[in-house]
Chain A
Amino acid sequence: MGEHRSMRYRLHECRRFRVAGREVLFLVPSHSIFALDELAAEIVHLLEEREALSISDILRHLNGHRSSAEPMGAIRELVSLGILQPAAQPINPRPQPAPPATFPLRTLVLNVTNTCNLSCGYCYEYGEDQLSHSPPRAMPWEVAKRAVDFLLEHSGESDRVSLTFFGGEPLLNFKLIRRTVSYAEQRAAERGKRIDFSLTTNATLLTRRVIDFLAEHRIGVTVSIDGPRELNDRLRVFPSGRGSYDVIAPKIADLLRRHKTRPIGARVTLTSAVREVERIFDYLIDLGFQDVGFAPVTTAVGRDYALSEEALAEVLRQFETLTERFVEAALRGSYLGFSNLSDLLWELHHGFSKSYPCGAGLGLLGVSPTGDLALCHRFIESPQHRLGTVETGVDERRRAAFLKAAHLSRKTDCHTCWVRGLCSGGCHHEAYVRYGDTFHPNLHYCDWIRAWTEIGIRAYVRIMEGNPAFFDRLEGRKSP
């Protein structure tokens, strides 16, 4: 062993957790997760309390050891994994890489109609926070056809693309969906690509004919529903004010019975009126949904259905309870369809670290009924977020400007945040509605996101230690 023990080291940016009696480390810049033995943990503790230490100092502090060979081995491991860093190296030397100039399109979201037969109080298409006041429109066939060609032409090397039908209520334009699916299947086959379809619906217009079509063409379905009748009907109502539950319940039962070719998920919007996460979850899983996901409503400041601080804390507590149940199920080898958690676990498993919160403007674009391209489905018909048309293609100048401004490196508030590579400042649309600035980090959720990420890491470690094979199954679910 050479004598270079005056070299000083500091702890790289990391978070340490104690999970099931074990020390676990989440390395922030790389999203690696490590389990530490006692000795390694002791070294990490030492450095947590100090700016930096030389190797000889570290060895001196660990004087319970007979020789320096063991501690030296542990130090070497910590250094080579990047957990300890030479003190002379600048902190955070490496910003996230800039986006590539061009990238293949992966998903196109077609707004096949901007009208809806419900008028849910919180809807960003119709409610108080809508981005535009366009006249009612259904997408004509020429636009849909052009959009399919556009998707295939811009999908580059990738052999899989997906097309999502969105609205408004997309089933109001079922005729177009049918025609588009058969055209897209044919064009994709000609190009040797696989195309996946999905649809988000309020379920009011599901008939047997529609359901059989969805099943036959393997169209993934997500149903927007807020739980049992009295919860669902608080905000999910027809224009007359009548609740939608009684109309959708039998249709959903039919859908779950007949459509078996793809998993069917439920999406719940959490508001001040609807926040009983666990109860809603159990209800929807009992109905037969494979996956249930929750999203807090997007609002400007001051809407009365917005979630208050206490409500958010309550949601977090219930997420934690569901997480506990998820972990127990996973250790037994079964899957609980809590998709907020399964998505997080999947990201943690891979150690993905992102400079953008989502694919908006990258591999994902929205298409308006008239064929305008938007950052994503939520920005459709917002003139400010237009990125070209399916006819003329992507306006690369505008896209580049967006990607530059939306990059995590621009969000200075996030630079010292340990979950920045997972959150990346959060949804652009949420930011726009909340702060009037697409590029503003969603600072009203930070504490929540950090607490939730910690819950996720703890769950990840327990499952990984108890039943690592679970993640092979999860992999299958996330990329069917």
Chain B
Amino acid sequence: MKHVRALNRKARRAERGIDDHDDVMAMQEQQPLPLSCTTVFDPGWEIDALGGMGLLCQPMERDLYACYNECWWPAQLPDQMVNYPDWSEKCASAVKDWRHLDLVFP
């Protein structure tokens, strides 16, 4: 790291989370939710939003709400912006809590 220097232990762990790619857990901790689509154009999985690879290798469960977050488009998923703002409330971390994403009946 050139511009940001970790001072305490927690910060050093965050640093390792990206520097050594083995630490998948730390990476998932940092990015607990998926990036969204439509408004920002998910760049796909070959390259991350910054043109690098540091943010790749996200757990596949992240896709579960890719069309939900900050989206109004009536897709196969509930939308957050208009109709189902609380749909993911019980799902703090997609990897662990995806079972809490329930069916909705419009």
Q: Which residues of A contact B (CB under 8 A)?
A: 1-4, 6-8, 24, 27, 30-37, 39-40, 55, 72-83, 86-90, 93-95, 97, 348-351, 460-461, 464-465
Shortest Cβ distance from residue B92 to the other chain A in the assembled complex, whole angstroms:
5
Residues of chain B within 8 A (CB-CB) of A83 are 4
Interface SS majority for chain B: loop
Given the complex of chains A and B, what is the CA–CA distance between A461 and B13 in angstroms? 17
B49 and A4: CB pair below 8 A?
yes
Does B70 count as interface, using CB distance less than 8 angstroms?
yes
- Cβ-closest chain B residue relative to A19: B7
Shortest Cβ distance from residue A421 to the other chain B in the assembled complex, whole angstroms:
10
For B4, give its contact among A31, A35, A87 (CB under 8 Å). Answer: A35
- Cβ-closest chain B residue relative to A31: B10
CB contact list, B4-51 vs A, under 8 A: 4-11, 13-15, 17-18, 30-33, 35-36, 39-41, 43, 47-51
Residues of chain B within 8 A (CB-CB) of A351 are 8-11, 13
A34 and B6: CB pair below 8 A?
yes
- Cβ-closest chain B residue relative to A75: B50
Q: A89-B33, A90-B70 are in contact. List 13 more A-B contacts (CB 8 A).
A: A2-B50, A4-B41, A6-B40, A32-B10, A33-B6, A33-B11, A76-B52, A78-B4, A79-B54, A80-B54, A81-B18, A82-B14, A94-B33
Q: Which residues of B contact A (CB under 8 A)?
A: 1-11, 13-15, 17-18, 30-33, 35-36, 39-41, 43, 47-52, 54-55, 69-70, 88, 92-93
- Cβ-closest chain A residue relative to B48: A4
Contact A32:B33 (CB < 8 A) given known A4-B50, A55-B50, A95-B92 = no
For B7, give its contact among A4, A82, A88, A461 (CB under 8 Å). Answer: A461
B32 and A81: CB pair below 8 A?
no
Number of A-B pairs, beta carbon distance below 8 Å: 142
Given the complex of chains A and B, what is the CA–CA distance between A304 and B52 in angstroms? 63
A2 and B41: CB pair below 8 A?
no
Shortest Cβ distance from residue A303 to the other chain B in the assembled complex, whole angstroms:
39
Residues of chain B within 8 A (CB-CB) of A4 are 41, 43, 47-51
Shortest Cβ distance from residue A248 to the other chain B in the assembled complex, whole angstroms:
40
